[in-house]
Structure 1
Amino acid sequence: MTDRLKALSDEGVAIWLDDVSRQRLRSGNLAELVETKHVVGVTSNPTIFAKALSDPDVYTGQLRDLGIRGVDVEEATRMITTYDIRWACDVLRPVYDRTGGVDGRVSIEVDPRLAHETEKTVAEAGLLWWLVDRPNLFIKIPATKEGLPAITEALAQGISVNVTLIFGIQRYREVMDAFMTGLERAKERGHDLSTIASVASFFVSRVDTEVDKRLDKLGTERARALRGKAAVANARLAYEAYEQTFASDRWKALQAAGARPQRPLWASTSVKDPSLPDTLYVTELVTSGVVNTMPEATIQAVADHGEVRGDTVRGRYDEARQVWAELAELGIDYDDVVSVLEAEGVEKFVASWKELLATVRKGLEEEARR
């Protein structure tokens, strides 16, 4: 049987799992995916943790101990989530060592309620970095306007960063600028640049969800023909921006000082529209030097029937531009699409974070009554 995931990995795509939970760690499932499915990294977000904590029995012992100590809900949540991330870091540590720190990474996000507060985001990033205390950790910081200087400062402090919630090309260029500024400041402060890593999480499927909703309202034959094309085109243009930025003299100077490039990471790669192929955002975004973080169902789908046909990104930039030119002719405003998606992305994570806090609060209260 063809090992499709190996073929994907051989093309230069790092396969990361977009999920983590105490049950997955305790059962050995994460270790198994690393061993059998070429998984070399893990990402998490508030929605993932809210789902994990929906099975509170797995967390009973820790909830009981935290309750006995009288820890408040915010602190209890931080203790629970960092415990899982620390455990996942340890599972992935052999991959980190084997790849020289390129992969084997695990991400945890700052409190999404801080998305528009720069100083608090930096402080939270430092706290999480200290609490987890693993070299293969990434701190996720959203690419809001207020998040950009926080990204720079965290990197300047030597903290490895996963920049999340990137939807638009211009914002992505600003993220790459924030990354390089952070490394330049880190160098000035005497940090070893080779120890600082970063990825830029460019969201994919949500672009089609938003654009296709607008196309469906138009209802024309031309609009229907463009369904399911915006997201891949957008991601391909993001990779073009990456190639341009990391060919600059500015980057070459940082690279000469030991810096690693900020790899593009394809996020939100599960297909939401059942009329589209379930491996679309994997097989159509194959190129070297990128990460694709997938839910387990998508990993299994690629393993079962994903067709890896070599590089499907480079050389297709004009085609991608044509897609967005046609969308613009139909009145689909690119800037409005990405602005709406960023706002919704923050809102969704804040809602998940509040759900997570409520679940932890309930668990603490139940343990207190026992």
Structure 2
Amino acid sequence: MTDRLGELSAAGVSIWLDDFSRERLDSGSLQELIDTSHVVGVTTNPSIFGKAMSSGDAYTEQLRELKATGAELADIVTTLTTDDVRAACDLFTPIYLATEGSDGRVSIEVDPRLAHDTQPSIEQAHLLRDLVDRPNAYVKIPATREGLPAITGALAAGISINVTLIFSVERYTEVLNAWMDGLEQAHDKGIDLTDLHSVASVFVSRTDVEVDKRLDALQSQEARQLKGKAALAVARLCNEAFENAIASERWQTLAGYGARPQRPLWASTGTKDPGYRDTLYIEELVTHGTVNTMPEKTMQAFADHGEVRGDTVRGTYDTSREILDAVEAAGVDMVDVFAVLEREGVTKFIDAWEELMTTLQDQLDKL
């Protein structure tokens, strides 16, 4: 029987699960994915936590205990989420140790309502790092304009960061600069850079959803032929930007201090268009030294019929530029696309967070 996920892992792609819940921990589901599907990390976000806490009774007993203490709702949410992440970090510790910190990672996001507030984001990154209290935890900070200095500030304090909600090559390049700024400041403070890790999460499928919608509106054969190509082009050019950064003299200096590369992470890799191959954003983004975080449904699809055809990223950069140029020439304003995607991404996470708060309040009222 072909071990397709094993082939993907052997190609240098770290397989992370884009889903998490206490039920996964308690039932052994997460451990099974580690044992059978080459899963070496897990990512969370407000939507994932909201879904986990709105179903089942895995949190009921702890909610009852927290209610008895008179804790505020925001503190209860923080306690529940950091407890889950800490337990998952413990589960992944053997992988963390075996990979010298590259994998075995679990992410927890700052309150999405802070996406446009730099200093409060840095302060919450400190809080979450301290509450989880595990070396293999990542704190997620969105790559908004205000998030960039927060990323630098958190890294400068020795906090490992998962940068999230990246949609454009331009913003990704700014993230690379913010990351290296943070490393340089951390080094100046005497922080050991070998223990400071980061990934940069480029969201993939959402780009095709927005671009394809605009291409359809143009009602031309030329425009329709470009559908399903923009997201991969953006991700591949982000990888080129990463390669350029790693080849720079600035990075070589940091590497000499023991710094680790900020690996590109492909997020939002489940296809939204049923007309596309369900493993599209896995198969076409295979290159060594990257992470692909997948919904379980997509992971299962790849295990069943995915294909590893060697490196599908390097060597595509010129073609990727031509694709994005063609999309622009057809009449799609990509700058506006990226602005809309970032704005919608932040809004979706805020809505999910507030829905989570409402759900927990309703559960507390019923206890």
Task: Provide TM-score, normalisation by structure 1.
Answer: 0.98
Q: Does 2:201 match 1:172? A: no
Alpha-carbon contact 1:173-1:241 (below 8 Å) kept: yes
Runs of 4+ in 1 over 4 A off after TM superposition: none
Matched with 1:123 is 123
Give 3-state SS (helix, strand or coil) of 1:265's partner: strand
Matched with 2:191 is 191
Deviations 1:120-159 (A, max 9, x none): 0000000000000000000000000100011001001100
Query: In structure 2, how many angstroms separate the alpha carbons of the residues matched to 1:261 and 1:237?
Result: 17
Query: In structure 2, how many angstroms separate the alpha carbons of the residues matched to 1:366 and 1:139?
Result: 32
Query: In structure 1, how many angstroms separate the alpha carbons of the residues matched to 2:194 and 2:88?
Result: 23
Give 3-state SS (helix, strand or coil) of 2:58's partner: helix
Give 3-state SS (helix, strand or coil) of 2:57's partner: helix
* Structure-to-structure mapping, 1:295-314, within 5 angstroms: 295-314=295-314
Matched with 1:135 is 135
Matched with 1:22 is 22
Query: In structure 2, how many angstroms separate the alpha carbons of the residues matched to 1:246 and 1:218?
Result: 39
Give 3-state SS (helix, strand or coil) of 1:348's partner: helix
Q: Does 2:268 match 1:268? A: yes
Query: In structure 2, how many angstroms separate the alpha carbons of the residues matched to 1:57 and 1:352?
Result: 20
Query: In structure 2, how many angstroms separate the alpha carbons of the residues matched to 1:71 and 1:56?
Result: 22
Structure 1 residue 218: Cα displacement = 1.2
Matched with 2:250 is 250
Give 3-state SS (helix, strand or coil) of 2:269's partner: coil
Deviations 1:199-225 (A, max 9, x none): 000010000000001011112111111
Structure 1 residue 365: Cα displacement = 1.3
Percent identity reads: 60
Query: In structure 1, how many angstroms separate the alpha carbons of the residues matched to 2:279 and 2:29?
Result: 22
Q: Does 2:149 match 1:149? A: yes
Structure 1 residue 8: Cα displacement = 0.4
Matched with 1:67 is 67
Q: Does 2:94 match 1:94? A: yes
Deviates more, 1:213-222 or 1:151-160: 213-222
Deviates more, 1:194-203 or 1:316-325: 316-325
Query: In structure 2, how many angstroms separate the alpha carbons of the residues matched to 1:257 and 1:235?
Result: 29
Alpha-carbon contact 1:165-1:202 (below 8 Å) kept: yes
Matched with 1:9 is 9
Query: In structure 1, how many angstroms separate the alpha carbons of the residues matched to 2:17 and 2:56?
Result: 22
Give 3-state SS (helix, strand or coil) of 2:275's partner: coil
Deviations 1:335-366 (A, max 9, x none): 11111100000000000000011111111111
Give 3-state SS (helix, strand or coil) of 2:244's partner: helix
Structure 1 residue 241: Cα displacement = 0.7
Q: Structure 2 counterpart of 1:128, which letter? A: L
Matched with 2:210 is 210
Q: Structure 2 counterpart of 1:16, which letter? A: W
Give 3-state SS (helix, strand or coil) of 1:122's partner: helix
Query: In structure 2, how many angstroms separate the alpha carbons of the residues matched to 1:218 and 1:7?
Result: 40
Query: In structure 2, how many angstroms separate the alpha carbons of the residues matched to 1:90 and 1:18?
Result: 18
Matched with 1:356 is 356
Structure 1 residue 56: Cα displacement = 4.7
Structure 1 residue 293: Cα displacement = 0.3
Q: Which runs of 5+ in 1 are unaligned?
A: none
Query: In structure 2, how many angstroms separate the alpha carbons of the residues matched to 1:58 and 1:103?
Result: 27
Deviations 1:287-309 (A, max 9, x none): 00000000111111110000110
Q: Does 2:327 match 1:335? A: no
Matched with 2:294 is 294
Query: In structure 1, how many angstroms separate the alpha carbons of the residues matched to 2:334 and 2:241?
Result: 16
Query: In structure 1, how many angstroms separate the alpha carbons of the residues matched to 2:8 and 2:130?
Result: 34
Alpha-carbon contact 1:56-1:363 (below 8 Å) kept: no
Aligned residues: 367
Matched with 1:32 is 32
Give 3-state SS (helix, strand or coil) of 1:140's partner: strand
Q: Structure 2 counterpart of 1:334, which letter? A: M
Structure 1 residue 325: Cα displacement = 1.1
Q: Which runs of 5+ in 2 are unaligned?
A: none
